[in-house]
Amino acid sequence: MGEAYFYHMTRTPLEETLPALLGRAREQDWRVVVRGRNEARLRWLDERLWLGDGFLPHGLSGGPHDADQPILLTAGGEAAECVVSMDGAEVAPEEVTTAARVMILFDGNDDGAVERAREQWRQMSGAGVGAKYWSQETGRWALKAESAGRAAATPE
């Protein structure tokens, strides 16, 4: 059973945070699904990943080789060893039981995104899923809260 990691981005935007996390996931040899909520935003992210400093082999869903992509950007519900939720995309607690890791990235400067992440935290911990809350408020990522499941407090 995996865990859900919540990343509260306050200092670096998604297009800087995500490549580092994807690189670490690929070092584990995990296939990664990056789940978003709209196709335009996924296309934007696709462009940023190709223009970045390091090479991250990936593709947008809807092609003939989706199952072969080491990193797949999608608005669908595909499963993988590592599932990354961005922009509040849905991740079911049951997915954490089949994945090695679930990452939920949210913009700490967006009140709606923070509230959505809190809802997802409550959903995960209420279902008994282990969760870790990471914040970069000091400039470096630091573990701020941990939940073994059911009676966990919601991180601030």
Whether 9 maps to a domain, the answer reads: yes
Domain count, the chain: 1
Q: Is residue 35 classed as helix, strand or coil in its secondary structure? A: strand
* CATH number where 129 lies: 3.40.50.10110
Domain interval for residue 134: 3-147
Domain assignment of residue 153, yes or no: no
Residue 156 lies in a domain: no
Residues of the chain with pLDDT under 50: 150-153
Q: Which helix (H) or strand (E) holds 33?
A: strand 32-35
Cβ pair 55, 69 in contact under 8 A? no
Rounded to a whole number, what is the distance in angstroms from the first to the last CA of the chain? 26
Asked whether residue 79 is domain-assigned, the answer is yes
Q: What tens digit of pLDDT does each residue of 84-111 get?
A: 999 999 999 999 989 999 999 999 999 9
- The answer as to whether 30 is a domain residue is yes
Helices 39-51 and 14-27, packing angle to 10 deg: 70
pTM, entire model: 0.91
* Residues in Cβ contact with 101 at an 8 Å cutoff, skipping those fewer than 6 apart: 2, 3, 5, 25, 30, 81, 82, 83
pLDDT at 144: 95
Residue 37 falls within a domain, yes or no? yes
**Does 88 fall in a domain?**
yes
Domain presence at residue 41: yes
Cβ–Cβ under 8 Å, residues 58 and 71: yes
User: For position 33, what pLDDT does the model report?
Assistant: 98
pLDDT recorded at residue 155: 58
